Structure 1
Amino acid sequence: MDAIDEGILRELTADARLPYRELGARVGLSANAAAQRVRRLVESGTIRGFTVVTAASGPDGLPSGLEVFIEVRLADDTTNESFTAALTRGFAQVLDAVHVTGSYDYLLHAVVADPAALDQLVRRLKREAGAAQTFTRLALRA
C-alpha cells in the first residue's frame, strides 16, 4: 500500500459513495485508475465492505444499540476464508472480525439493535457462516 492507496482509503472513509472521477481527482489519478485501485483494495481485503450510517447512529458515526463481542469457534468443515467471506456478504452488524489464538477462532465486535437482534445474529452466524460455537459478551460502557 502506498500514499495514493492511503489517500483513497481516507477519502472513501469520509464518503464511500464518492464517484471514481472525484476520487481520482482528489488523489491525483484518472477515474479508471482510481476504480482499479479500489478494486485491488477490495480484492486484497484492505477494504472489507461499504456501509451506510443511518439516523439511528450515535454521535461517533457508529450504529447505536447493544455493543457486543462474540467469540466464535468454527465448525470443522469451515475455513477461515469461507467464514470471513460470509461476514463480508451479509453481516452488516459486525464491525470487526479478528482471527485470534486460544479456544475460539475469531473475536467479533458487533452492534445490534436489541437482544432479539443479537439472537438473530448468533443464529445466522451458525446457520450461514459456519460458526459451531459462540460466546457473547455485552459491553456495559465504552
Structure 2
Amino acid sequence: MDELDEQILGILHDDARISFSALGRRIGLSTNAAAARVRKLEQTGVILGYTTRVADELPGRGGLEVFIDIRLDADTSHEDFAARLAAVRAVEDAVHLTGEYDWLVHVRVEDAADLDALLHRLKQEAGVAHSRTRLVLRS
C-alpha cells in the first residue's frame, strides 16, 4: 500500500459511491487505473465492504433509544435468538455477554407502546425469559 492507496481510502471513506472516473481525476489517474487500484484494495482485504448510514430521524427509527438486558430461556439457543433479533427493524445493535444477562440489545422505538410491543414480541417469539430496560436520557 502506498500514498496513492491512502488517498483512495480517504476519498472512499468520505464518498464510497464516487465513480471511478471522478476518483481518478481527484488522484491524477485514469478511470481504469483508479478502478484497478480499488479492486486490488478489495481483493487484498484492505477494503472489507461498503455500508449505508441511515439518519436517526427517519419514520420508524423512533423517539426512544433503549438498552435492553436479556436473559434467555434455558431451551433457547443463542444462534436462534440472534436470528430472530436480526429480523427486528428497531434493533440497532446486540452483543452476547457474560454475567447476569445473556445479551445487551440497543433499540430505537417510537414510544412506550412500541417498546411494550417489542418486549412482548421478544418474550413470545424469541425465547426471552427476563428483560431489564434502560432508557437513554442523553447521548
Q: TM-score, normalised by structure 2?
A: 0.61
Where 2:93 maps in the other structure, the secondary structure is: strand
Bigger Cα Rg: 2
Q: Name stretches of at least 5 consecutive residues in structure 2 with no aligned partner.
A: 1-8, 18-34
Three-state SS of the structure 2 residue aligned to 1:92 is coil
Alpha-carbon contact 1:74-1:130 (below 8 Å) kept: yes
Following TM superposition, by how much is the alpha carbon of 1:130 offset from its aligned partner in structure 2, in angstroms? 1.0
Q: Contact (CA 8 Å) 1:51, 1:92: kept in 2 or not?
A: no
Tell me the residue number matched to 1:95.
Answer: 92
Q: Please give the alpha-carbon distance, in whole angstroms, between the structure 1 residues aligned to 2:56 and 2:130.
A: 33
Q: How many residues align?
A: 111
Q: Percent identity?
A: 47
2:115 equivalent in structure 1: 118
Partners of 2:121 and 2:53 lie apart in 1 by: 21
Q: Which residue of 2 aligns with 1:82?
A: 80
RMSD, matched Cα? 3.8
- Tell me the residue number matched to 2:39: 28
Unaligned 5+ residue runs, structure 1?
1-6, 19-24, 42-49
Q: Distance in 2 between matches of 1:112 and 1:78?
A: 25
Instruction: Tell me, yes or no, if the aligned pair for 2:62 and 2:111 is still in contact at 8 Å.
Output: no
8 Å contact from structure 1 (residues 96, 110) kept in 2: yes
TM-score (norm 1): 0.60
Provide the rounded CA distance (Å) in 2 between the counterparts of 1:51 and 1:134.
30
Letter in 1 for 2:89: A
